Structure 1
Amino acid sequence: MAKESKPKKQAKKVSLWTLILTGVISLLIGAGGTYAFMYRTVRDAQTVNASMAKIQAVYQTLYYNYYRKVDATKLEKDAIDGMLKALNDPFSEYMTKSEANSLNNTISGSFVGIGIEVQKDGDYIKVIAPISKTPAAKAGLKAKDVITAIDGKSIKGLALEKVIAKIRGKKGTSVTLTVKRGQTSFTKTVKRASIPVATVYGNLDAKDKTVGYLRVTTFSTNTAKEFKQEVKRLRQKGAKSFIIDVRDNPGGLMTTALQMASMFVKNGKNIMQVQGRDGQVEAYKSSKDYSKGFKITEPTVVLVNGGSASASEIFASALNESANIKLVGTTTYGKGTVQTTQEFKDGTELKLTIDKWLTANGKWINKTGIKPTIKADYPAVASLAAINTKKTYQEGQVSNQIKSLQKMLAYLGYFKGQANGYYGADTKEAVTNFQSANGLATSGQADKQTVVKLETQVATKVTEHDNAYEAGLKALGE
C-alpha cells in the first residue's frame, strides 16, 4: 500500500513494519499463546528448511552442471519471481535495486516521468491511476488502461523495472505508449516532466466562497501535514464546509490514511480493520495519536471514482461508515490488501501482501470497490478511447475510431446523426464545420491536427462540467 508516494526508507520501515507486522504478531502472543506460536514457528521452519534444501539442490545442479554458463543473478531473480507468481497476487513482487530505488523516488521525492501509478498485469502493465495535473492525466490516461508497447516496441513479458525505465527519461523528451482500453487500442505520445512532490491542493469554490475544495493526489509521508495546513488556510479564507477529492488517487501509506481519517472520525470509533492469515481481526480506531488533536467537524463530502484505490478507499470508507460522510462519484477500484516491504543487503526489496484490510464495519472491498452514496460521473464521452492520430479518417470508411470521432463531435454540437462508425456525408459536414470554426483547413477529413484539436476541446468541456463536483456541492447544501 505504498505506491506513488513513499516515505524515506527508514521512516517506511517504522511506519509499515511496526504498525502492521508487530500488530499482527501481538494478536498471536497473548496470555497462554506463546507456546502455540513458538511451536508453529518451529514446525513451519522445519517444513521451510526441507523445501529450501530441494530448491538449493536444484539451484546448485543448474549452476554447476548446465551445459552453458548460467547467470546466477538472473537464476536467483527468476526463482523468486516464480515463487511470487504462485501467489497469483499482482501486489506481491520482488524488486531489483534500481526498481526499489525507483519506487522510493516516486514516493519520497520529485522525479522525471509522466505521472502514472502502474502494476504488472500478466504480460503487460496496467495503470492504477494517473496523478492529477501530470502529463499522464492531461494526456487522458485512465485507471485500468493496459500499456502494451512503448515507442512502438512490445513490452510483453518485460519486468516492471524495465518498463518503468523506458517510460522515464529526460525532462522535455516524449514517450509514445500503446494503450489498450477495453477492446480498443490506441497510442498516446506524452512529454516527460518533473512530477511534483506536493500531494494536496486546495481552493475555495469559484461561486460559493464558504466551500473549500481539497484535492489529495496520493497518501505519502507528508500528506496528512499538507492536508492539515490546507484545511487551516481555507478556514482562514472563509471555508465552512469541504469537498475532499480522492478521485484517481492510487493510495499510498496506510499510516497516512489513518492519520487523515482520524481528523474526521470521533476518537474511539473504528477507521478500519486488519485480518491476518490466522483469521484474527484487529481494529484500528480514531485517536489523538493519529490526528494530533486536529479535528474537522464541518460538513464534508468525498469524491471517489474507479481510480480511488488502497489508502484512498480506507480513508473514504472510514469517513462514510464512521462519520456518516457521503461519498459522491463512481465505485472505487477495490484493493483490499495491505503490503509491506523487506529490504535486503544488496538493495533489492520484497513487497509482500501480509493482510486483508476491512472497512470500519468489517466489509472486504477487494475487487468490488466501494459504492458511492450519490452516483455521479463525467459524461460518457470522457471514457472514450483516444483516436489514433497516425491515421486520417475520411468519407466511406468504417471503424470504431470514427464512432468515437462522431461522439466527440456530437458532444460539442457539430454532429447530429447516429454514431455508427460510418464516415458518411453528415460526418464529413460535421468535421468541415469544426475545422472552419477552429481555423483549420476545411478538408472534411479528420487528420491529426483536427483530431488533436477536437480531443482538446472535449477534455476542456468535460473538466469544466464536473458532475461529481456539482453533486457534491448539492449534497453539502441538503
Structure 2
Amino acid sequence: MYLNGFDLKVVNNLDELKNNTEQPAGQPDQPENEHHEGPAGKYIRLKPFVFIMLIFTLILSTAGLTIFALTFGDEKVVEVGAPERREFTKLYQAYDELKAGYYADIDQDAIVNGAINGMIDALGDPYSDYMNQDEAAQFEESISSSFQGIGAEIQERNGVISVVSPIKNSPAEKAGILPNDKIIAVDGESIQGMSASEAVLLIRGEKGTSVTLTIQRGEMDEPLEVEIVRDEIPIETVYAELLEGNVAHIQITSFSTNTYEELLAAITEMEEKGMKALVLDVRQNPGGLLTSAIDISNLFVEDGKPLFQTQEKGKEAEVYTATDGTKVKVPVSLLIDEGSASASEILAAAMSESAGTKLVGLNSFGKGTVQTANELKDGSNMKFTTAKWLTPEGNWIHEKGIAPDVKVEYPSYTQLPYLDASIEMKNGVLSDQVKSAEEMLTAIGIDTGKVDGLFDDQTVAAVKQVQKEAKLEETGILTGDTTFALMDRLRVKIEKDDPQLLKAKELVLEQLSK
C-alpha cells in the first residue's frame, strides 16, 4: 500500500520487521533514512525505531483528525456504524428487558418473527402478511403445479379466518365448504386471532390424512364439524365444455402461472368443436397472479383500450392498456359471484368497461388492492399491499365489489350445510341435520312431506328411494354411503340446473341472433 509517499511493506510481527530492516551481510551500515533506487524510483529505508514511531504518529494524527471533524466539522463527515433509528428505541429496550429479565431463555427467532408480525398486523390490512420460512414455502406452492391440502382460499379479517372460495373439484368443495364460511377451529384447536398463513399451516397436510374444521355459517346457531380428507390439489385452473347451441362454457378457477396457456388451449379446443359463443366463468375464483389477469384480459379487450389502473402512494395512476395479439371474436358473457375476487375482478372490470361484456350473477367480492411478496434473506417473506388498482374508468371497487348487469341468485338449496356422514339419522330423530337432509331430498325431486327437521315415516320412504336408485341396502337410515349419495345427487342438480349459467348462455345467444 501507499501511504504519504512512502513505500512500506506490511509485516506480521516485530521479528519480521527487524529482518526486513537489517542490512545485507558484507555491506557497510547505511545512514538512517538513506535514499535508494528501486523499481518504482526512490524510496526511504527506515530503521526499526523510526518505523515504529511513524506508525504511532500516524495513529495519533488520524485520531486527532477524527476528533476535530466530529467536534467542529459537518456531522456527516464521519459515520461510525449504522445510523441511529430513534423510532426503534422502544423496541430495542423491550427486547433487552425480555432477554435480561424473562424467567426462561427466550426464542430469539420467535421474538423477532413476532415483532414483524405485529408490525404487519398493525396495518389493519387483511391482505398484508408476514410468512416465516415454512409459510413462505407454502405460499410458493399455492401458485405452482400442485400442493397437498383441502383446496380452499382463506383470508383473515378482524381476527377471523373466512373462506373466500373452495377450489373446483377439491376436497373442500366436495365436503360442502362454501364462500364466507368462518373457520373457528382446526382439529378442535381454536384459530381465533391467527393470521391466514398460520391457519394454512394447520389446515394443509399430507395426502390421505384428515382434518376437522369447525365452521360457523351465516346465522346458524350451532357450528358445523366438517371432516375433510386431504388430497393432491392440482393447479389445473381451466375447465371447458360445449353446451347446446354451440355455446362454450369455460371456467377459470384461479389465476396461476399456466392459466393463460390453459385458457388458450381450451379456446382452441372449443373452436375445433364449433364454438359460436362463449360464457366465461370466474365464480368462486379467488384471484392469483396479476400478470395472468393482464394476459387473459388482453384476449377480450381491443388493442389500445385500458385494462385497469394502479396507483401507488403519492403517485399518479398508471394505466395498463391492451396490446395487439390473439383476441376472442365470438359473443361473450362473464359469470361472477361473491367468491370472485382480486384478479377475477380485474378481468371483470376490463371486460365490462372496455369491451362492453355483460356480467351475470352476483356482486363480486371487492378486493381493490395489489400485493407484492418480498423475500427476506432467511427465506421468510413479507407480502404487503403496495398499490390500489382501479377499473378502466378509474373506479375503486375495494370492499364494494362489481355489480353484475343481470343479477341472478343461487337457489336456496345451493347454500345447504354439509351433512355429516358419520351421524346416523333415522325414524324419530329431530335435528337441524335432518331438516337439511329433507331440503336436499325435496330439491332433487323426492317428496319428504313437511320439512320440519323430524325424521318420520315419509322421510324413511324418501331415504329408501335414494338407496334404491344408488343400489344401496334399503334401510331407510341416512348415514355413511347413503349420505354421500344424497349429496352427490344434489351436486349434480346444482351443476345441471345452474340458473346463472343458463342466463349467461341466453344473453350470448341473443347477441348471435342480432
TM-score category (smaller protein): 0.7 to 0.9
Counterparts in 2 of 1:451 and 1:339: CA distance versus 1, 3 Å: same
Match of 1:447 in 2: 479
Q: Greater relative contact order: 1 or 2 (C-alpha under 8 angstroms, separation 6 or more)?
A: 1
CA contact (8 A) 1:98 1:161 kept: no
| Counterpart-to-counterpart distance in 2, 1:274 and 1:48 | 35
TM-score normalised to the size of structure 1?
Answer: 0.82
Find 1:257's aligned residue among 293, 306, 311.
293
Q: How does 1:71-470 map to 2 (within 5 A)?
A: 71-158=107-194, 160-184=196-220, 185-205=223-243, 207-208=244-245, 210-278=246-314, 280-288=316-324, 293-415=325-447, 417-440=449-472, 442-470=474-502
Match of 1:23 in 2: none
| Counterpart-to-counterpart distance in 1, 2:209 and 2:230 | 6
CA RMSD of aligned residues (A): 2.5
| Counterpart-to-counterpart distance in 1, 2:104 and 2:229 | 43
| Counterpart-to-counterpart distance in 2, 1:363 and 1:400 | 43
Counterparts in 2 of 1:447 and 1:108: CA distance versus 1, 3 Å: closer
Tell me the alpha carbon deviations over residues 73-122 of structure 1, each in whole angstroms, 9 at most, x when there is no partner.
11112212222222211111100011011110120232222211122244
CA positional deviation for 1:340: 0.7
CA contact (8 A) 1:247 1:305 kept: yes
| Counterpart-to-counterpart distance in 1, 2:89 and 2:359 | 52
CA positional deviation for 1:344: 0.5
Find 1:69's aligned residue among 101, 105, 115.
105
Larger displacement relative to structure 2 (88-97 or 449-458): 449-458
| Counterpart-to-counterpart distance in 2, 1:48 and 1:118 | 40
| Counterpart-to-counterpart distance in 2, 1:286 and 1:178 | 45
CA contact (8 A) 1:378 1:467 kept: yes
| Counterpart-to-counterpart distance in 2, 1:48 and 1:384 | 59
Counterparts in 2 of 1:280 and 1:243: CA distance versus 1, 3 Å: same
| Counterpart-to-counterpart distance in 2, 1:200 and 1:394 | 41
SS at 1:83 equivalent: helix
Tell me the number of residue pairs that the alignment of Structure 1 and Structure 2 aligns: 426
CA contact (8 A) 2:185 2:213 kept: yes
CA positional deviation for 1:272: 1.3
| Counterpart-to-counterpart distance in 2, 1:191 and 1:154 | 20
Partner AA of 1:191 in structure 2: V
SS at 2:85 equivalent: helix
CA contact (8 A) 1:378 1:462 kept: no
| Counterpart-to-counterpart distance in 1, 2:307 and 2:299 | 11
| Counterpart-to-counterpart distance in 1, 2:122 and 2:300 | 40
Tell me the alpha carbon deviations over residues 138-157 of structure 1, each in whole angstroms, 9 at most, x when there is no partner.
22222221222333443344
| Counterpart-to-counterpart distance in 2, 1:446 and 1:199 | 35
Counterparts in 2 of 1:163 and 1:86: CA distance versus 1, 3 Å: closer
CA positional deviation for 1:189: 2.6
Aligned identity (percent) is 38
| Counterpart-to-counterpart distance in 2, 1:236 and 1:405 | 43
CA contact (8 A) 1:129 1:249 kept: yes
Counterparts in 2 of 1:112 and 1:49: CA distance versus 1, 3 Å: same
Q: Which runs of 5+ in 1 are unaligned?
A: 1-46
